[in-house]
Protein backbone atom coordinates (compact mmCIF):
# COMPACT_ATOMS: atom_id res chain seq x y z
CA UNK A 1 0.00 0.00 0.00
CA UNK A 2 1.20 3.51 -0.74
CA UNK A 3 2.28 5.48 2.32
CA UNK A 4 3.39 8.52 0.38
CA UNK A 5 2.27 9.76 -3.00
CA UNK A 6 4.11 12.72 -4.46
CA UNK A 7 2.31 14.21 -7.45
CA UNK A 8 3.86 16.82 -9.71
CA UNK A 9 5.68 18.59 -6.88
CA UNK A 10 7.14 21.84 -8.18
CA UNK A 11 9.09 24.25 -5.97
CA UNK A 12 10.90 27.48 -6.80
CA UNK A 13 12.77 30.20 -4.95
CA UNK A 14 12.20 33.81 -5.85
CA UNK A 15 15.61 35.37 -5.45
CA UNK A 16 16.96 38.83 -6.37
CA UNK A 17 18.61 37.27 -9.41
CA UNK A 18 15.43 35.58 -10.58
CA UNK A 19 13.39 32.46 -10.02
CA UNK A 20 15.37 29.32 -9.11
CA UNK A 21 13.55 26.20 -10.30
CA UNK A 22 14.64 23.83 -7.54
CA UNK A 23 12.13 20.98 -7.93
CA UNK A 24 10.32 20.35 -11.18
CA UNK A 25 7.30 18.13 -11.58
CA UNK A 26 8.47 15.37 -9.26
CA UNK A 27 6.07 12.42 -8.91
CA UNK A 28 6.58 9.10 -7.18
CA UNK A 29 4.94 6.64 -4.86
CA UNK A 30 6.47 5.12 -1.77
CA UNK A 31 5.00 1.91 -0.39
CA UNK A 32 4.72 1.05 3.25
CA UNK A 33 7.97 -0.56 4.41
CA UNK A 34 9.88 0.53 1.31
CA UNK A 35 13.31 2.19 1.55
CA UNK A 36 13.98 4.82 -1.08
CA UNK A 37 17.54 6.01 -1.70
CA UNK A 38 17.67 9.45 -3.31
CA UNK A 39 20.93 10.40 -5.03
CA UNK A 40 22.17 13.19 -7.26
CA UNK A 41 24.81 15.87 -7.34
CA UNK A 42 24.75 18.91 -5.13
CA UNK A 43 21.87 21.23 -6.01
CA UNK A 44 19.74 18.55 -7.69
CA UNK A 45 16.76 19.27 -5.44
CA UNK A 46 17.05 16.32 -3.03
CA UNK A 47 16.76 18.35 0.16
CA UNK A 48 14.31 20.94 -1.14
CA UNK A 49 11.87 18.25 -2.26
CA UNK A 50 11.62 16.76 1.24
CA UNK A 51 11.70 20.11 3.03
CA UNK A 52 8.82 21.23 0.82
CA UNK A 53 6.70 18.22 1.73
CA UNK A 54 7.36 18.74 5.43
CA UNK A 55 6.47 22.44 5.30
CA UNK A 56 9.99 23.40 6.35
CA UNK A 57 10.95 25.80 3.58
CA UNK A 58 11.04 29.50 4.33
CA UNK A 59 8.24 31.15 2.31
CA UNK A 60 9.32 33.50 0.86
CA UNK A 61 11.70 32.97 -0.87
CA UNK A 62 10.37 29.44 -1.42
CA UNK A 63 7.13 28.89 -3.27
CA UNK A 64 5.36 25.62 -3.90
CA UNK A 65 4.13 26.19 -7.43
CA UNK A 66 2.12 23.01 -7.67
CA UNK A 67 1.55 19.45 -6.73
CA UNK A 68 0.22 17.30 -3.92
CA UNK A 69 1.99 15.15 -1.35
CA UNK A 70 -0.37 12.55 0.09
CA UNK A 71 0.78 10.95 3.34
CA UNK A 72 -1.64 8.17 4.27
CA UNK A 73 -4.04 9.82 1.86
CA UNK A 74 -3.85 13.33 3.34
CA UNK A 75 -2.22 16.20 1.47
CA UNK A 76 0.73 17.52 3.50
CA UNK A 77 0.84 20.65 1.34
CA UNK A 78 -2.70 21.54 2.42
CA UNK A 79 -2.11 21.02 6.16
CA UNK A 80 -1.80 23.80 8.70
CA UNK A 81 1.57 24.41 10.35
CA UNK A 82 0.13 22.98 13.59
CA UNK A 83 -0.89 19.73 11.88
CA UNK A 84 2.50 19.45 10.22
CA UNK A 85 4.27 20.08 13.50
CA UNK A 86 2.45 17.22 15.14
CA UNK A 87 3.33 14.89 12.27
CA UNK A 88 6.99 15.89 12.24
CA UNK A 89 8.84 14.12 14.99
CA UNK A 90 5.81 11.87 15.48
CA UNK A 91 4.63 9.83 12.50
CA UNK A 92 7.37 11.34 10.37
CA UNK A 93 10.88 11.28 11.84
CA UNK A 94 13.62 13.42 10.36
CA UNK A 95 17.39 13.42 10.53
CA UNK A 96 19.14 16.25 8.76
CA UNK A 97 22.74 17.06 8.02
CA UNK A 98 24.39 19.61 10.32
CA UNK A 99 23.42 18.40 13.82
CA UNK A 100 24.97 21.43 15.54
CA UNK A 101 22.34 23.75 14.13
CA UNK A 102 19.53 21.31 14.93
CA UNK A 103 20.43 20.75 18.58
CA UNK A 104 19.87 23.50 21.12
CA UNK A 105 23.27 24.31 22.70
CA UNK A 106 21.84 25.50 26.04
CA UNK A 107 19.74 22.42 26.80
CA UNK A 108 21.05 19.02 27.83
CA UNK A 109 20.77 16.25 25.32
CA UNK A 110 18.44 14.39 27.69
CA UNK A 111 16.09 17.33 27.99
CA UNK A 112 15.87 17.66 24.20
CA UNK A 113 15.18 13.99 23.71
CA UNK A 114 12.62 13.97 26.51
CA UNK A 115 10.77 16.95 25.03
CA UNK A 116 10.36 15.21 21.69
CA UNK A 117 9.22 12.00 23.37
CA UNK A 118 6.74 13.78 25.65
CA UNK A 119 5.33 15.84 22.81
CA UNK A 120 4.68 12.90 20.52
CA UNK A 121 4.05 9.87 22.74
CA UNK A 122 2.19 8.97 25.91
CA UNK A 123 5.45 8.58 27.83
CA UNK A 124 6.01 11.29 30.47
CA UNK A 125 8.60 12.09 33.13
CA UNK A 126 10.82 9.20 34.09
CA UNK A 127 9.20 6.95 31.50
CA UNK A 128 10.28 9.44 28.84
CA UNK A 129 13.76 9.53 30.42
CA UNK A 130 13.94 5.75 30.31
CA UNK A 131 13.02 5.80 26.65
CA UNK A 132 15.68 8.49 26.00
CA UNK A 133 18.30 6.30 27.68
CA UNK A 134 17.20 3.32 25.64
CA UNK A 135 17.46 5.33 22.42
CA UNK A 136 20.99 6.59 23.13
CA UNK A 137 21.97 3.04 23.88
CA UNK A 138 20.35 1.94 20.63
CA UNK A 139 22.44 4.39 18.56
CA UNK A 140 25.59 3.11 20.24
CA UNK A 141 26.36 5.85 22.75
CA UNK A 142 28.16 4.38 25.78
CA UNK A 143 26.98 5.24 29.32
CA UNK A 144 23.72 6.70 27.99
CA UNK A 145 22.28 7.65 31.39
CA UNK A 146 25.31 9.88 32.13
CA UNK A 147 25.37 11.26 28.63
CA UNK A 148 21.78 12.49 28.90
CA UNK A 149 22.91 15.04 31.49
CA UNK A 150 25.48 16.55 29.12
CA UNK A 151 25.21 19.41 26.62
CA UNK A 152 25.65 19.08 22.84
CA UNK A 153 29.14 20.67 22.93
CA UNK A 154 30.31 17.84 25.18
CA UNK A 155 29.59 15.37 22.38
CA UNK A 156 31.82 14.69 19.40
CA UNK A 157 30.45 15.39 15.91
CA UNK A 158 29.71 11.72 15.33
CA UNK A 159 27.96 11.44 18.69
CA UNK A 160 25.82 14.50 17.99
CA UNK A 161 24.80 12.97 14.71
CA UNK A 162 23.81 9.81 16.57
CA UNK A 163 21.74 11.90 18.95
CA UNK A 164 19.95 13.40 15.95
CA UNK A 165 19.29 9.92 14.68
CA UNK A 166 17.98 8.92 18.12
CA UNK A 167 15.62 11.91 18.02
CA UNK A 168 14.50 10.96 14.51
CA UNK A 169 13.74 7.44 15.69
CA UNK A 170 12.34 8.39 19.10
CA UNK A 171 8.67 8.07 18.27
CA UNK A 172 8.89 4.98 16.07
CA UNK A 173 7.95 6.98 12.98
CA UNK A 174 6.04 5.40 10.14
CA UNK A 175 8.22 7.38 7.76
CA UNK A 176 11.85 8.23 8.47
CA UNK A 177 13.44 10.89 6.29
CA UNK A 178 17.22 11.11 6.55
CA UNK A 179 19.17 13.74 4.63
CA UNK A 180 22.92 13.02 4.55
CA UNK A 181 22.48 11.60 8.04
CA UNK A 182 25.70 9.61 8.07
CA UNK A 183 27.87 11.75 5.82
CA UNK A 184 29.85 13.23 8.73
CA UNK A 185 30.42 9.86 10.40
CA UNK A 186 33.38 7.58 9.95
CA UNK A 187 32.83 4.36 8.06
CA UNK A 188 32.50 2.15 11.14
CA UNK A 189 29.93 4.34 12.85
CA UNK A 190 28.11 4.74 9.54
CA UNK A 191 27.89 0.95 9.25
CA UNK A 192 26.45 0.77 12.78
CA UNK A 193 23.80 3.37 11.97
CA UNK A 194 22.83 1.56 8.79
CA UNK A 195 22.46 -1.66 10.79
CA UNK A 196 20.27 0.22 13.22
CA UNK A 197 18.02 1.50 10.45
CA UNK A 198 17.79 -1.95 8.89
CA UNK A 199 16.85 -3.40 12.27
CA UNK A 200 14.19 -0.74 12.73
CA UNK A 201 12.74 -1.54 9.32
CA UNK A 202 12.65 -5.23 10.14
CA UNK A 203 11.04 -4.78 13.54
CA UNK A 204 8.62 -1.94 12.85
CA UNK A 205 8.22 -1.90 9.09
CA UNK A 206 9.42 1.70 8.96
CA UNK A 207 9.33 3.36 5.54
CA UNK A 208 12.51 5.28 4.78
CA UNK A 209 13.66 8.07 2.47
CA UNK A 210 17.46 8.10 2.60
CA UNK A 211 19.13 11.04 0.84
CA UNK A 212 22.82 10.56 0.19
CA UNK A 213 25.75 11.18 -2.13
CA UNK A 214 26.90 7.67 -1.44
CA UNK A 215 25.86 5.03 -3.98
CA UNK A 216 27.37 2.38 -1.71
CA UNK A 217 24.90 3.23 1.04
CA UNK A 218 22.04 3.09 -1.45
CA UNK A 219 23.17 -0.34 -2.59
CA UNK A 220 23.28 -1.56 1.01
CA UNK A 221 20.14 0.00 2.38
CA UNK A 222 17.60 0.87 -0.28
CA UNK A 223 14.99 -1.14 -2.16
CA UNK A 224 14.46 1.62 -4.69
CA UNK A 225 16.87 4.20 -6.05
CA UNK A 226 15.79 7.58 -7.33
CA UNK A 227 18.32 9.61 -9.26
CA UNK A 228 17.70 13.35 -9.35
CA UNK A 229 19.20 16.03 -11.56
CA UNK A 230 18.14 19.62 -12.14
CA UNK A 231 15.19 19.17 -9.79
CA UNK A 232 13.84 16.23 -11.80
CA UNK A 233 13.78 12.48 -11.44
CA UNK A 234 16.07 11.13 -14.15
CA UNK A 235 15.75 7.47 -13.28
CA UNK A 236 14.08 5.37 -10.67
CA UNK A 237 13.63 1.71 -9.94
CA UNK A 238 14.62 -1.32 -7.89
CA UNK A 239 18.27 -0.97 -6.86
CA UNK A 240 19.51 -4.18 -8.55
CA UNK A 241 18.19 -3.53 -12.06
CA UNK A 242 19.15 0.17 -12.00
CA UNK A 243 22.72 -0.60 -10.91
CA UNK A 244 23.09 -3.44 -13.42
CA UNK A 245 21.35 -1.81 -16.33
CA UNK A 246 21.11 1.98 -15.96
CA UNK A 247 19.09 3.72 -18.67
CA UNK A 248 19.94 7.33 -17.93
CA UNK A 249 23.34 8.63 -19.00
CA UNK A 250 23.44 10.51 -15.71
CA UNK A 251 22.98 7.36 -13.61
CA UNK A 252 25.53 5.62 -15.80
CA UNK A 253 28.01 8.45 -15.12
CA UNK A 254 27.40 8.26 -11.38
CA UNK A 255 27.88 4.50 -11.32
CA UNK A 256 30.93 4.59 -13.53
CA UNK A 257 32.58 7.06 -11.22
CA UNK A 258 32.21 4.77 -8.20
CA UNK A 259 35.50 3.68 -6.73
CA UNK A 260 35.78 -0.06 -6.30
CA UNK A 261 35.01 -1.90 -3.11
CA UNK A 262 38.55 -1.49 -1.83
CA UNK A 263 38.34 2.29 -1.68
CA UNK A 264 35.44 2.33 0.78
CA UNK A 265 36.72 5.29 2.77
CA UNK A 266 36.41 7.70 -0.15
CA UNK A 267 33.17 6.64 -1.72
CA UNK A 268 31.89 10.13 -2.39
CA UNK A 269 30.86 10.64 -5.94
CA UNK A 270 33.43 11.79 -8.39
CA UNK A 271 32.27 14.68 -10.53
CA UNK A 272 30.95 13.95 -13.98
CA UNK A 273 32.65 16.32 -16.47
CA UNK A 274 30.91 19.69 -16.83
CA UNK A 275 28.97 21.53 -14.18
CA UNK A 276 25.45 21.26 -12.81
CA UNK A 277 22.81 23.42 -14.46
CA UNK A 278 22.10 26.94 -13.31
CA UNK A 279 18.56 26.49 -12.06
CA UNK A 280 17.83 30.20 -12.40
CA UNK A 281 18.19 29.69 -16.16
CA UNK A 282 17.75 25.94 -16.68
CA UNK A 283 18.64 24.46 -20.04
CA UNK A 284 15.79 23.87 -22.44
CA UNK A 285 14.87 20.20 -22.72
CA UNK A 286 16.61 17.47 -20.76
CA UNK A 287 18.62 19.27 -18.05
CA UNK A 288 21.49 16.76 -18.38
CA UNK A 289 21.73 17.14 -22.17
CA UNK A 290 24.58 19.71 -22.10
CA UNK A 291 26.78 17.18 -20.27
CA UNK A 292 25.51 14.07 -21.98
CA UNK A 293 27.73 12.62 -24.73
CA UNK A 294 24.73 10.57 -25.93
CA UNK A 295 22.23 13.44 -26.16
CA UNK A 296 20.15 13.67 -29.30
CA UNK A 297 18.67 16.83 -30.85
CA UNK A 298 15.40 16.12 -29.13
CA UNK A 299 17.15 16.12 -25.71
CA UNK A 300 18.13 19.75 -26.30
CA UNK A 301 14.57 20.74 -27.20
CA UNK A 302 12.09 18.81 -25.07
CA UNK A 303 11.94 17.61 -21.48
CA UNK A 304 11.66 13.81 -21.54
CA UNK A 305 8.86 12.35 -19.41
CA UNK A 306 9.58 9.54 -16.94
CA UNK A 307 8.57 6.37 -18.78
CA UNK A 308 8.64 2.70 -17.81
CA UNK A 309 11.65 0.61 -18.86
CA UNK A 310 10.04 -2.62 -17.69
CA UNK A 311 6.96 -3.79 -15.81
CA UNK A 312 8.74 -3.82 -12.42
CA UNK A 313 9.04 -0.13 -11.64
CA UNK A 314 12.25 0.72 -13.50
CA UNK A 315 11.66 4.12 -15.11
CA UNK A 316 13.79 6.61 -16.99
CA UNK A 317 13.46 10.12 -18.37
CA UNK A 318 15.49 9.98 -21.57
CA UNK A 319 14.90 10.41 -25.29
CA UNK A 320 17.96 8.33 -26.19
CA UNK A 321 18.42 4.57 -25.87
CA UNK A 322 21.37 4.22 -23.50
CA UNK A 323 22.21 0.54 -24.06
CA UNK A 324 22.27 1.11 -27.83
CA UNK A 325 24.32 4.30 -27.45
CA UNK A 326 26.83 2.52 -25.21
CA UNK A 327 27.20 -0.36 -27.68
CA UNK A 328 27.71 2.08 -30.52
CA UNK A 329 30.32 4.01 -28.56
CA UNK A 330 32.15 0.79 -27.76
CA UNK A 331 31.53 0.91 -24.02
CA UNK A 332 30.10 -2.60 -23.94
N1 LIG B 1 16.86 29.26 0.42
C2 LIG B 1 17.15 29.14 -0.87
N3 LIG B 1 17.13 30.20 -1.70
C4 LIG B 1 17.40 30.10 -3.01
N5 LIG B 1 17.72 28.92 -3.61
C6 LIG B 1 17.77 27.83 -2.86
C7 LIG B 1 17.51 27.87 -1.45
N8 LIG B 1 17.63 26.61 -0.95
C9 LIG B 1 17.96 25.83 -2.02
N10 LIG B 1 18.04 26.56 -3.15
C11 LIG B 1 18.36 26.05 -4.49
O12 LIG B 1 17.52 24.95 -4.76
C13 LIG B 1 18.22 23.99 -5.56
C14 LIG B 1 18.09 22.62 -4.93
O15 LIG B 1 18.80 22.61 -3.70
P16 LIG B 1 18.85 21.37 -2.71
O17 LIG B 1 19.29 21.90 -1.40
O18 LIG B 1 17.59 20.63 -2.77
O19 LIG B 1 20.00 20.48 -3.35
P20 LIG B 1 20.54 19.07 -2.87
O21 LIG B 1 20.28 18.11 -3.97
O22 LIG B 1 19.99 18.76 -1.54
O23 LIG B 1 22.11 19.34 -2.79
P24 LIG B 1 23.21 18.86 -1.70
O25 LIG B 1 23.62 17.50 -2.17
O26 LIG B 1 24.30 19.85 -1.84
O27 LIG B 1 22.59 18.84 -0.34
C28 LIG B 1 19.65 24.50 -5.69
O29 LIG B 1 19.77 25.13 -6.94
C30 LIG B 1 19.77 25.48 -4.57
O31 LIG B 1 20.70 26.48 -4.89
MG1 LIG C 1 20.83 18.61 0.36
- pLDDT band of residue 241 (cuts 50, 70, 90) is very high
Q: Is the pLDDT of residue 64 over 70?
A: yes
Whose C-alpha lies nearest to ligand 1, atom 13?
22
Mutate which of 9, 18, 45, 212 for ligand 1 pocket (most atoms within 8 A of beta carbon): 45
Average pLDDT, the chain: 90
Q: Is the pLDDT of residue 125 over 70?
A: yes
Distance separating alpha carbons of residues 48 and 222, to the nearest angstrom: 20
* 246 within 8 A of 213, measured Cβ to Cβ: no
- Structural domains of the chain ordered from first start: 2-91+171-328 (3.40.50.300)
- pLDDT band of residue 264 (cuts 50, 70, 90) is very low
pLDDT at 213: 86
Characterize the bridge pairing of strands 18-31 and 35-39: unpaired
Element (H, E) at 39: strand 35-39
pLDDT at 100: 53
Ligand nearest to the CA of 48: 1
* Mean local confidence (pLDDT), 302-318: 97
pLDDT at 326: 93
Mutate which of 18, 22, 213, 279 for ligand 1 pocket (most atoms within 8 A of beta carbon): 22
Q: Is the CB of 40 under 6 A from ligand 1?
A: yes
Whose C-alpha lies nearest to ligand 1, atom 27?
42
* Mean local confidence (pLDDT), 32-40: 96
Q: Give the distance (Å) from ligand 1 centre to CA of residue 64.
A: 14
Q: Which of 72-76, 94-98, 181-185, 191-195 has the highest mean pLDDT?
A: 72-76
Distances in Å between the alpha carbon of 44 and those of 77, 118, 119, 233? 21, 36, 34, 9
Q: Is the pLDDT of residue 128 over 70?
A: yes
* Mean local confidence (pLDDT), 274-296: 93
Q: Is the pLDDT of residue 99 over 70?
A: no
* 63 within 8 A of 11, measured Cβ to Cβ: yes
Q: Is the pLDDT of residue 229 over 60?
A: yes
Q: Is the pLDDT of residue 245 over 60?
A: yes
**pLDDT tens, residue by residue, 156-202:** 877 888 888 888 888 889 999 999 888 777 788 788 888 888 988 88
Amino acid sequence: MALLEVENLTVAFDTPSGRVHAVNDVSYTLDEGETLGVVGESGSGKSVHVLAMLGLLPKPPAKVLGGRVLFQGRDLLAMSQAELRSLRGGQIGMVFQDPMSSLNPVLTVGRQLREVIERHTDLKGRHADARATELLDLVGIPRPADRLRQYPHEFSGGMRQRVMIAIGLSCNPKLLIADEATTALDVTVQAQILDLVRDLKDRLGTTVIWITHDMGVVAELADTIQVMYGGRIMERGPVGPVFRDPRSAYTWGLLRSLPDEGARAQRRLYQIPGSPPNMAAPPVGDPFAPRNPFATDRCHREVPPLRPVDAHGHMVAAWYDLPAALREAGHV
